[in-house]
Amino acid sequence: MALHKLQITVIDGGRVASGDGEGIGGVVGGTSKKKKPLTYRLLNLDEEIKNKTIKKMPPVAAMGIMEGIGIAKQVGRQWLNFHLSDIGRRHGDSNYQAIVGRRMEIAGDIMSVGKGALSGAAAGAMLGPKGAIIGAVVGAAGAGISIAFRQADRQRSYAHQMFEYNNSQAYGLARANFSIWTGRLR
């Protein structure tokens, strides 16, 4: 039985580490000096900035800043949700509140598809522009499929609710002896 030479190449976020077990053919356990592709750097700009900024800070300060940013985001989202969820009560119109809630949901769905596309593009960017495009399409499709199934589930639930309502109404009318002969038609 012949033994084959084994070459291992690991691509991690634009860094390449390769080796054949003997240190030949690349840097084993390290990173090469190759520059990251432009599409990767553009689509992972927040990570690039974070890495360059955190590299110059002590670990405790970096953790504190990251946690502070996370808390600020959470407070902003909760504040917006709190104020928008009170519109119906403030104006005395629950239908208006339902409309606002639906528009917020539509905006969230659009942002979900956009975030899916961006995260897919960021993941595929390490393979260059074609990888970024394929990743964006797959990410957007995944988010769109999730939204489509949620809407289908809602439609099925609504159809069942209407079925129950119609049956309940028909039963009530039958119990009331509602017909042309009883004189109750208006």
Per-residue pLDDT tens over the stretch 91-104: 777 788 788 888 88
| DSSP state, residue 176 | T
Question: 113 and 22 in one domain?
Answer: no
Q: Which stretches within the chain are classed as H helix?
A: 38-43, 45-55, 59-84, 87-91, 94-124, 129-175
Question: 115 and 74 in one domain?
Answer: yes
* Structure tokens, 27: 């840097």
Amino acid at 54: I
Question: 140 and 75 in one domain?
Answer: yes
* Ranges of residues in the chain whose predicted pLDDT is under 70: 1-4, 6, 10-34, 178-186
Say whether 164 sits in a helix, a strand or coil.
helix
Which pLDDT belongs to residue 70? 86
* Structure tokens, 77: 């989202």
Distance of alpha carbon 59 from the chain centroid:
29
Q: Which domain holds residue 80?
A: 37-175
Which pLDDT belongs to residue 20? 46
Question: 165 and 112 in one domain?
Answer: yes
**pTM flag (> 0.85):** no
Identify whether 184 is part of a domain: no
Query: Is 117 in contact with 42 (CB distance < 8 Å)?
Result: no
Identify whether 131 is part of a domain: yes
Query: Is 6 in contact with 19 (CB distance < 8 Å)?
Result: no
Per the structure, how many domains does the chain have?
2
Question: 150 and 93 in one domain?
Answer: yes
Identify whether 104 is part of a domain: yes
Q: Which helix (H) or strand (E) holds 136?
A: helix 129-175
Question: 88 and 50 in one domain?
Answer: yes
Question: 43 and 17 in one domain?
Answer: no
Positive or negative, the CA dihedral 10, 15, 17, 18 is positive
Question: 126 and 87 in one domain?
Answer: yes
